[in-house]
Amino acid sequence: MVKTFGAYACQIADPNPPRENGLEREYPEHLANYQRIYDMAHTVVLSHGDLAPHNILVMDGHITGVIDWEAAGWYPEYWEYTTMLKGLQLTAGPDGQIVPKTAWQRLVLSLPSFCYATEYDLEWSLWWLTMANWPPW
């Protein structure tokens, strides 16, 4: 599934992105980087697809519900984690570890089950490939 979706996303990414920002120099690097995910084995699991603070209901310090399930589906096991970190590109510190920029990112990265830093990096390349082709607003 990852290969099918990723291949489609890479096909729709314009190989000639806007030149005014110098994006065409980064395109081959991001394309090659994302395609590395094809060699990684992942199981497919049911994921919320948009897990973020605004979709988690809390009362008296306890989670009472999770809303906004329209992005839910069967995704690779890393998908929930990488999409929770989406938005700002995370950077690596001097030790190579991801440096969180928000409280939400700190929480996600602190989860004992988070082991998808490589997948995040590869997914960032896919997001770059698709976002670089959006028209300027």
Q: In whole angstroms, what is the distance from residue 41 CA to residue 30 CA?
A: 20
**What is the per-residue pLDDT across 49-106, written as a single tens digit (0 to 9) for each?**
999 899 999 999 999 999 999 999 999 999 999 888 876 556 666 776 777 778 888 8
pLDDT(131) > 90: no
Q: In whole angstroms, what is the distance from residue 82 CA to residue 34 CA?
A: 13
| Number of alpha carbons in the 13 Å side-chain half-sphere of residue 51 | 21
Three-state DSSP class for 98?
A: strand
Average model confidence (pLDDT) across the chain: 80
Distance separating the N- and C-terminal Cα atoms of the chain: 32
Three-state DSSP class for 95?
A: coil
Q: What is the pLDDT of residue 60?
A: 97
Q: What is the pLDDT of residue 121?
A: 85
Q: pTM (2 decimals)?
A: 0.70
For the chain, what is the total number of helices (H) and then of strands (E)?
5, 6
Q: Could you give the percent of the chain with pLDDT greater than 70?
A: 72
Task: Pick 24 or 55 by higher pLDDT.
Answer: 55
Q: Tell me what the mean pLDDT of segment 104-124 comes to.
A: 87
Q: What is the pLDDT of residue 103?
A: 84
C-alpha distances (whole Å) from 69 to each of 16, 41, 50, 56 are: 35, 26, 7, 11
Please state the separation of Cα 15 from the chain's center in Å. 21
